[in-house]
Amino acid sequence: MKELMLGNAAVARGLYEAGVRFVSSYPGTPSTEITEEVAKYEEIYAEWAPNEKVALEAAMGAAIGGGRAFCGMKHVGLNVAADPLFVAGYTGVSAGLVIGVADDPGMHSSQNEQDSRHYAIGAKLPMVEPANGAECVAYVKAAYELSERFDTPFILRMTTRASHSRSVVELGDRVEKEICEYVKDPGKHVMMPANAKKRHVVVEEHLAALREFAETTDLNTIEDNGTQVGIISAGNAYNYAREAFGKNASYLKLGLVNPLPEKKICEFAAKYETVYVIEELDPVIEDFCKAHGLNVIGKDVLPLCGEYSDELLKKLLLGEEADNTMLGDDIPGRPPVLCPGCPHRGVFYTLNKLKLRVSGDIGCYTLGAVAPLNAIDSVYCMGASISSLHGTLQARGEGDKYVAVIGDSTFMHSGMTGLVNAVYNNSPLTTLILDNSITGMTGHQENPLTGNTLKGQPAKNLSLEAICIALGVDAAHVRAVDPGDLSALEAVIREEVAADCPSVVICRRPCALLKSVKKNPPVKIDPDKCKGCRACMKIGCPCISFADKKAKIDASMCVGCGLCPQMCKFDAIEG
């Protein structure tokens, strides 16, 4: 049977067909749907872990424990999981282990553009990179066989376009794998220096064997079209190359991107007058070629930054540009905004009003940084809102001028340790936990605070208040407030920012996009009462605009959240 499948769903299908038993992941665009899709297969245990380090350690435990296991994350998640990653090659596997990581060239939904192939090289782990849905299934299945054959975890590298494009996939059957027999093997599984020294040697032996394997595996394919131009490429970048050059070039498509096949690459390059290396982000394959004395063309012509396309390759390598039509007018941009009814809107309006500096974090609420709210001063990485603000306050004081803002899922991911540090080292910092009762930005995933598991089972519903008190915040300074009530919100923030001790304000209101959240009828403007003062515009709601000097509500978008009526001194907005 054939199906038009999202790349991430095809990865999940590969996990199913490969007989995988255990999946633990943390959501992150563009990787999230792998785990959401895999959870639909009854045969597979699948869970959301609080962060990627926990997820990978769980998956390692499952694989060494004898069941095929998988762990999925976005590129920056691999930074969080790097600690277990760098030991995973040493301990090897009993049943196969695959670590899926999705890079985001073009940064559609990320804070940086890092290239995960460096991790494969650094952690000395083999890596495969599929270019379409059919390859997602095939490469995942191959990776499990090879993981067990070479006794090493494999990394599956995806990119946004591989993860989020649909293509035709032929479905196969699941092959069940029995749990391996338990063997106590401290020399392999207890990584203290005496054992690790011996295991490092084994890791190098495995890599050497994989280098040999790379020369002959059909994961690396050649299409010789008898041309003068040869192209070395991998993953979705190959799709752009194949589209742009068609039969006018020959191709070495690398499915196994670490380790690279030296002989195969050198022999291929020797056959063509001009050899291009086409890879998005960093020149990993290109540097390998140049280190082996090959005269290839890559990043001297092609960009290091951003996403590629066949259009870009045609322009830069073939000098071809298609004719097109353009309007002379300036087309106003349309940046993403907080949704109508978003519970975060009132928080950022209030922080603006109080002229507080805001240490932000990763999630939907990062959009508090864009106009007209402009309410965030810094955003680095998951959990950094609290930990970095602690540093700022220790360096310059002014504890009453700052707050940290972090989402509920992000707080569970890596905010708690930052709060412990603030308590332990006595920073008078105020943390606002924006609890919208779901992991929002990645499309509504359950987390330890939602009371449900990924599989839809009831789970222990952890209490943010109890956690913060247990971490040492004085119970009198752990306050919960409805961010839809602007005056209550402002009063609580004022009090806690003024307090000379660590404090937490839990701004609790569910995400407006949740099906369980009731939508109210749209609000209405009474044009006789509207004085055109534009106070309602300060909340940056996309439903409110101005026409003929009066406020106007877009009724098709408004969900009647009740925020804008609180902004109007003249009672012109009727909710």
Partner 1 sequence: MIKNIMIVGVGGQGSLLASKILGKAAMDAGYDVKVSEVHGMSQRGGSVVTYVRYGDEAVYSPVIGAGEADVILSFELLESARWLPCLKIGGTVVTSLQEINPMPVIVGAAEYPGELVEKMQALAVDIRAYDVQSIARESGNERASNVALMGLAADVLGFEEDVLRAAVASCVPAKALEVNMKAYDAARAMIG
DSSP lists the bridge partners of residue 431 as 404, 504
Of residues 536-575, which lie at the interface with partner 1 (CB under 8 A)?
537, 540, 542, 544-546, 554, 556-557
Residue 262 and residue 280: Cα distance in Å, rounded?
20
Site for partner 1 (CB under 8 A): which residue of 42, 178, 273, 321?
Answer: 321
Minimum separation from the CB atom of position 108 to partner 1 (A):
6
Judge whether 423 and 502 are in contact, CB under 8 Å: yes
Site for partner 1 (CB under 8 A): which residue of 121, 316, 369, 370?
Answer: 370
Nearer to partner 1 by Cβ, of 178 and 329: the residue is: 329
Tokens of 158: 């995806």
If one asks whether residue 329 binds partner 1 (CB under 8 A), the answer comes out as yes
If one asks whether residue 114 binds partner 1 (CB under 8 A), the answer comes out as no
Minimum separation from the CB atom of position 365 to partner 1 (A):
11
If one asks whether residue 409 binds partner 1 (CB under 8 A), the answer comes out as no
Helix (H) or strand (E) holding 503: strand 503-508
Site for partner 1 (CB under 8 A): which residue of 192, 194, 291, 331?
Answer: 331
Residue 468 and residue 478: Cα distance in Å, rounded?
7
SS3 category, 72: strand
Minimum separation from the CB atom of position 17 to partner 1 (A):
20
If one asks whether residue 443 binds partner 1 (CB under 8 A), the answer comes out as yes
Residue 250 and residue 377: Cα distance in Å, rounded?
50
Minimum separation from the CB atom of position 335 to partner 1 (A):
6
Q: Nearest 5°: CA angle at 35, between 339 and 23?
A: 145
Nearer to partner 1 by Cβ, of 315 and 401: the residue is: 315
- Using CB under 8 A as the binding criterion, the count of chain residues that bind partner 1 stands at 64
Residue 146 and residue 143: Cα distance in Å, rounded?
5
Minimum separation from the CB atom of position 288 to partner 1 (A):
24
Q: Nearest 5°: CA angle at 344, between 343 and 345?
A: 95
Site for partner 1 (CB under 8 A): which residue of 218, 330, 500, 528?
Answer: 330
Site for partner 1 (CB under 8 A): which residue of 312, 316, 491, 499?
Answer: 312
Minimum separation from the CB atom of position 460 to partner 1 (A):
29
* Residues ≥6 apart with Cβ < 8 Å to 528: none
SS3 category, 3: strand
DSSP lists the bridge partners of residue 406 as 433
Residue 92 and residue 421: Cα distance in Å, rounded?
34
Site for partner 1 (CB under 8 A): which residue of 192, 201, 326, 395?
Answer: 326
Minimum separation from the CB atom of position 463 to partner 1 (A):
29
Minimum separation from the CB atom of position 312 to partner 1 (A):
7
Can you state the angle between helices 486-498 and 344-353, rounded to 10 degrees? Answer: 50
If one asks whether residue 512 binds partner 1 (CB under 8 A), the answer comes out as no
Site for partner 1 (CB under 8 A): which residue of 215, 282, 287, 311?
Answer: 311
Nearer to partner 1 by Cβ, of 424 and 546: the residue is: 546
Chain mean position to CA 233: 24
Tokens of 409: 């899922």
Full DSSP string of 247-262: GGSEEEEESEEES--H
Site for partner 1 (CB under 8 A): which residue of 35, 147, 233, 236?
Answer: 236
Residue 504 and residue 493: Cα distance in Å, rounded?
9
Span interacting with partner 1, options 188-196, 231-239, 280-288, 451-459, rule CB under 8 A: 231-239
Tokens of 104: 């985001």
Nearer to partner 1 by Cβ, of 363 and 484: the residue is: 363
Site for partner 1 (CB under 8 A): which residue of 186, 319, 335, 456?
Answer: 335
Nearer to partner 1 by Cβ, of 501 and 557: the residue is: 557
Tokens of 13: 């299908």
Of residues 157-216, which lie at the interface with partner 1 (CB under 8 A)?
161, 164-168
Residue 106 and residue 119: Cα distance in Å, rounded?
19
User: What is the spatial order of strands in the sheet that 69-74 belongs to?
Assistant: 45-48, 22-25, 69-74, 97-103, 154-159, 127-128, 256-258
Interface ranges with partner 1 (CB under 8 A) = 2, 4, 6, 29-30, 32-33, 108-109, 132, 161, 164-168, 236, 238-240, 242-244, 309-312, 314, 321-327, 329-339, 364, 366-367, 370-372, 441-443, 537, 540, 542, 544-546, 554, 556-557
